[in-house]
Amino acid sequence: MKQKKVLKLCLTSIFVISLVAMTMVTLASALPVSATAAANLVSPTKTSAVPNTCTLVVASTASDPITLPAEIPAEVLKLRDQLPSTIDDAEAKTVPVLGRFVMYTYDLRHILWGQFGNHYFTGVDNMGVRVWGIYGQGYFAGLYNGQFFWGKYSCSLWSARNLFKLNYACGRYVTTPLPAATSNSIQP
């Protein structure tokens, strides 16, 4: 019985890692993805005492770029005031699209991918939930299944409150630019 559970856990892990790999290939669409970014997907450098988890650290100072303060910062309140009310509004505001992103929790249970531009983003997670929001000055805020979430990002790391229906989540993100237009790709 224990062997079946271990086998099921291994197969689930392989499936999730394969899903992340396929998502990266799809999002990159003919752009080379660096070996470092690909390695970070399967072996995150930030771990805690329990593998594949993160703990909420509430700081009184903002010295750590992804440590969340106890109260919602003024920067997030400004972002919340500019948050589009619908995904259609958010998609219209992402023009011009600057690139694509994939963000995931350290345990790979939650993966979110989409596009960003003009300080707005839209995306969908691995459960099919549409997400949209706004980012800037190291903070992001948005709506996940109608619920407000906010967080911080820096140097390919992120942490957030109320994202993925979790009180606290953290992980890594990867961004890719859009493919550049070439003279061969322009149709007369």
The pLDDT of 64-84, averaged and rounded, is 85
pLDDT at 45: 38
Tell whether the model's pLDDT for residue 16 goes beyond 60.
Answer: no
CB 111 within 8 A of CB 104: yes
Band of the pLDDT at 133, cuts 50, 70, 90?
A: very high
* 37 within a domain of the structure (yes/no): yes
Tell whether the model's pLDDT for residue 122 goes beyond 70.
Answer: yes
Average the pLDDT over each of 4-18, 100-114, 159-173 and give the range with the smallest value.
4-18
Q: Percent of the chain scored above 90 by pLDDT?
A: 54
* 21 within a domain of the structure (yes/no): yes
Q: How many structural domains is the chain composed of? A: 1
Give me the residue label for tokens 């400004």: 78
The pLDDT of 68-94, averaged and rounded, is 91
CA distances to 181, 182, 183, 184 from 187, in Å: 11, 10, 9, 8
Structural domain that includes position 147: 2-177
> Under 8 Å CB-to-CB from 75, ≥6 apart: which residues?
136, 137, 138, 139
Per-chain mean pLDDT for the chain: 75
Tell whether the model's pLDDT for residue 103 goes beyond 90.
Answer: yes
Higher pLDDT, 61 or 17: 17
* 33 within a domain of the structure (yes/no): yes
What does the alpha-carbon distance between residue 173 and residue 171 come to, in Å, rounded to a whole number?
7
Average the pLDDT over each of 40-44, 50-54, 141-145, 182-186 and give the range with the smallest value.
40-44
What does the alpha-carbon distance between residue 40 and residue 50 come to, in Å, rounded to a whole number?
18
* 184 within a domain of the structure (yes/no): no
Q: Are strands 68-69 and 58-59 parallel, antiparallel or unpaired?
A: parallel
pLDDT at 184: 63
What does the alpha-carbon distance between residue 50 and residue 62 come to, in Å, rounded to a whole number?
25
* 10 within a domain of the structure (yes/no): yes
* 136 within a domain of the structure (yes/no): yes
pLDDT at 2: 61
Higher pLDDT, 44 or 111: 111
* 188 within a domain of the structure (yes/no): no
The pLDDT of 21-27, averaged and rounded, is 45
Band of the pLDDT at 180, cuts 50, 70, 90?
A: confident
* 17 within a domain of the structure (yes/no): yes
